[in-house]
Amino acid sequence: MGELLRRLRKGFGRKLAILHAWNGWIVVVLALSGIMLVMNYWRGVLGEGRVWLKELHIIVGLLSLVPVIFYLLLAAKHWKQLRGKRWQKFNVFVVLGLLVGWFISGVLLWQFRAVGPWWSNHALTVHDLLTWIGLPYIIYHSITRAKWLKEPNRRVVRTEREGKAEAEATVLHPAASPQSYLSRRAFVKWAVGGGIAIAVGPSFLKWTVNTLGVSIGNPSYEEIVTRDGNELIPLPQPMPASSPPSGGGAKGEFRIYSVTPIPSFTNENWSFTIDGLVDKPMKWNWEQFVKLTRKVQVSDFHCVTGWSVYKNTWEGIPLKQFLQEAGVNPTATTVKFYSGDGVYTDSLTLEQAQMDDIMVAMLHDGNLIPNDLGGPVRLIVPKMYAYKSVKWLNRIELIDKDHVGYWEERGYDKDAWI
Ligand SMILES: Nc1nc2c(c(=O)[nH]1)N[C@H]1C(S)=C(S)[C@@H](COP(=O)(O)O)O[C@H]1N2
Ligand SMILES: [Mo]
């Protein structure tokens, strides 16, 4: 029996152990890089590194299939070995399910351009959901399966020498008998499980409410205004097409992205400028800006990271209107947009800037755009990915050179067409 076990461990068992270790490290790298990719904090900190990190995440993600394939080759044999061990079989299913689910949704996210926003959006939901469930599961699995938590009678199997020492220890120190190990183990399991639930639970609930659209009622106008860190007077009165929103209310949730700390504005520190190669440079303060004629349009909003918000009813001033009023010089080729965060910029060619649905937006679904979503005024370019939609827009400049925007400079595609 001992001989048999030893041979199993040397050959087949060792192969499984190596696969398990590889898989473990891959999951660690993917978890860390994935968490850094979704956390807004790291956007500003990493800058260009973000694009590299995404690339790493994709490559390691693709490689994660290798141990799975190798495992599947050994699976039949492993399955026989697991006869009667229901929990271990369940665990194999969960882990394989997670890996395959992450892989497929990950490939769809990677190929967001080829598959389009609908697939990316669903893939992101699945990718996130698997992470919410899978990561706590795997963390629990790795802590509670750690060697130091194993009862002595399971460790005995490892090596005879260890086993003997263990048996002696048990005789010498009755406190370390299997029973008390077991209860300590059960205790630690519950503690670890509880700890993870407390740590992850609240944000998971929040995610569920937001993403799966388990609606707890749309925030009221008052709620949004209270959340808003801006203080600008007077409030713009929404047009009838905006309130109630003619799009029927946006579907989906914006993720708050910013490469800087989120700025806030008052009548004192806010202004809006159009200048550069124009006949008539202009500058407005808030009181003047609120009086400009606005329009209403309904459009979808897509981020390259996979999420979308559909049927947004935006109210604001079409970009074209600004360009016409200021009078663009024939030498101008590019429209450059500045953010009030002092860092973010982007640009459109003069030709692209003629699209009718590009808007300098002030209201979303009849409400002020709160400062965390780019209010009081943000750009909207519905036909391009949202990194073109500069938040806290406060200056439009016409120039005769190309301008590479914040994210394009850090590796995003210059072509942002959806
Ligand atoms: N000033 C500024 N504008 C920005 C960004 C930013 O980080 N700073 N992120 C862009 C990206 S990548 C996206 S997806 C959208 C996100 O808008 P939201 O934060 O309102 O959801 O804003 C775009 N405009
Ligand atoms: Mo984005």
- State both tokens at 392: 């806290």
374 CA from centroid of ligand 1 (Å): 8
Residue 185 pLDDT class (50, 70, 90 cuts):
confident
Kindly tell me if the per-residue pLDDT of 288 is higher than 90.
Answer: yes
Kindly tell me if the per-residue pLDDT of 174 is higher than 70.
Answer: no
Mean pLDDT of 71-94: 92
Q: Which among 348, 362, 342 has a CA at the least distance from the CA of 399?
A: 348
CATH architecture of 230-399: Alpha-Beta Complex (3.90)
Say if ligand 1 is within 6 A of residue 255 CB: yes
Say if ligand 1 is within 6 A of residue 254 CB: yes
- State both tokens at 360: 């300098």
The closest residue, in CA terms, to atom 23 on ligand 1 is: 387
Neighbouring C-beta atoms of residue 222, cutoff 10 Å? 9
Mean pLDDT of 353-378: 96
Residue 158 pLDDT class (50, 70, 90 cuts):
very low
The whole-number pLDDT of residue 253 equals: 85
Mean pLDDT of 223-246: 88
The whole-number pLDDT of residue 157 equals: 46
| 158 vs 99 pLDDT, higher one | 99
Q: What is the largest CA-CA distance in the chain?
A: 95
Kindly tell me if the per-residue pLDDT of 119 is higher than 50.
Answer: yes
Say if ligand 1 is within 6 A of residue 374 CB: yes
Mean pLDDT of 29-44: 92
Q: Where are the domains of the chain?
A: 2-212, 230-399
CB 315 within 8 A of CB 360: no
Residue 37 pLDDT class (50, 70, 90 cuts):
very high
Say if ligand 1 is within 6 A of residue 303 CB: yes
Which atom of ligand 1 sits closest to the CA of residue 391?
A: 3
Mean pLDDT of 60-86: 94
The whole-number pLDDT of residue 167 equals: 47
Q: What is the pLDDT of residues 251-285, one digit of tens each?
A: 888 989 999 999 999 999 999 999 999 999 999 99
